[in-house]
A = this chain, B = another copy of it.
Amino acid sequence: MTSSANDCYRSRFDAVERIVPRQDPVVYASRPARPPMSEPRILDYGDNGFVLLENLFSAREVACFQEEAQRLWDDAELGDREEAIIEPDSRTLRSLFDVPRFSPVFDRLARDARLVEWARYLLDDEVYLHQSRLNYKPGFEGREFYWHSDFETWHVEDGMPRMRALSISIALDTNRASNGPVMLVPGSHYHFISCAGETPEEHYKKSLRRQEYGVPSQAGLKQLTQGNEIAVITGGAGSALLFDCNTMHGSAGNITPYSRTNLFFVYNAMNNQLQAPFSGQKPRPEYIARRADITALQPVSYREEDYLVRAQYL
Query: Chain A residues in contact with chain B, CB under 8 A?
Result: 139-140, 144, 146-147, 176-178, 180, 183, 218, 221-222, 225, 230, 232, 234, 250-258
Copies in the complex: 2
CB of A48, distance to nearest CB on chain B (Å): 15
Of all chain B residues, the one with the shortest Cβ separation from A225 is B257
11 contacts between A and B (CB under 8 A): A140-B218, A140-B221, A144-B255, A177-B177, A177-B232, A178-B230, A178-B252, A225-B257, A250-B255, A252-B253, A252-B254
Q: In the complex, what distance in Å separates the CA atom of A250 from the CA atom of B144? A: 16
Bound form: Cα–Cα A230–B180 in Å = 13
Residue of B nearest to A139 (CB): B218
Within 8 Å CB of A252, what residues of B?
144, 178, 180, 252-255
By the criterion CB–CB under 8 Å, are A253 and B253 in contact?
yes
- Please tell me which one of the listed residues B140, B232, B256 contacts residue A230 in the complex, with CB atoms under 8 A apart: B256
Docked Cα-Cα span, A230 to B222, in Å, equals 30
Query: Once the chains bind, are A144 and B253 in contact (CB under 8 Å)?
Result: yes
Chain B residues, CB < 8 A from A255: 144, 146-147, 183, 250-252
For A141, the closest partner residue in chain B by CB is B218
- Contacts of A250 on B, CB cut-off 8 Å? 255
* CA A270 to CA B232, docked complex, whole Å: 43
Identity of the chain B residue whose Cβ is nearest the Cβ of A221 in the assembled complex:
B257
How far, in whole Å, are A244 and B90 apart by their CA atoms in the complex?
A: 33
Docked Cα-Cα span, A222 to B257, in Å, equals 6
Q: A140-B221, A183-B255, A252-B252 are in contact. List 6 more A-B contacts (CB 8 A).
A: A144-B253, A178-B183, A218-B257, A221-B257, A230-B258, A251-B255
Chain B residues with CB under 8 Å of A253's CB are 144, 252-253
The interface residues of chain B lying within 8 Å CB-to-CB of A254 are 252
CA distance in complex: A176, B232 (Å): 9
Point out which of A176, A230, A251, A252 has the most chain B C-beta atoms below 10 A from its C-beta: A252
